[in-house]
Amino acid sequence: MTTEGLVPITRDYLARYYDKYPLPPIPDGVIALAARLRALSAELAAASPFSPEEEHLEQEASGVPAHKIDENMWKNREQMEEILFLLNKSRRPVALQQKSTLEDAEIVSTLDDCETKLKEMLKKLEQFQLKNADNVFNTVMTYMPQDFRGTLIRQQRERSERNKQAEVDAVVSSGGSIHDRYALLWKQQMDRRVQLAQLGSATGVYKTLVRYLVGVPQVLLDFIRQINDANDLWKCKENATGQHYTHLQNWCLQFGCIYISLWHDMDRRK
């Protein structure tokens, strides 16, 4: 592929790009509703305290949401799975499982709808992340030599992904929680970014190989080398879209806390 027209990918360059696609401001009604959810969550939690296994959710809900866009996405996935775990029919309060009253039956119908929609949203988010990861890797590989060197890079990535999946499977088989699994998934995501940076700086597993990457555009190597800098390039995207992501994460956390407290309250009153 021709390298004509390639320019250094800097923060200014990305800022100008994202300025072309501004997101609409978050409506005041959404912000007000989020505040009401936080108040309701705190009120319910005071009446029905969380168990030790659930306290991490309460702590996250009362803290500051993740600021990095990719970490925020992983956190949103985690909270979606936590909510789906609570919405599972076997986890619902006995009264709802038995549909003892007409009101209970109506609540169950609403919960079933929520569960279906949340599963669809989770699947879309998973597919979005997978597609993004493939797009980044394939874009980088477009400028790599299309011979044994490119093959070695692909093989290294495939081995790395198999090892990562084996780690996740081990956590699940040992009885690890959803929170444990996503802590590992986020660590693995950061490992991927480290490996990408190593490719740009000729270190780590790519130290020997990069010496032979003659002809790879320097602007590409510079970009992937800087991907994990403390003042990294993606902060432009975080500045442009971060508020929307953090509001979404906050909503997921508050809904999770509300469901937990409601379940405790219904079980206590049965």
Cα separation, 98 vs 104, in Å, equals 8
- The set of residues, in sequence order, having a beta carbon less than 8 Å from that of 118 and lying 6+ positions away, is 80, 83, 84, 87
Q: What is the pLDDT of residues 44-84, one digit of tens each?
A: 888 877 887 788 777 887 777 777 778 888 988 999 999 99
- Token digits for 53? 């296994």
The residue type found at 200 is G
7-19 pLDDT per residue, tens: 666 677 777 777 8
109 membership: H or E segment, kind and range? helix 102-142
> Residue ranges per domain, the chain?
11-16+27-269
Contact 57, 182 (CB under 8 A): no
Q: Which tops the pLDDT comparison, 244 or 154?
A: 154
Q: What is the pTM of this model?
A: 0.79
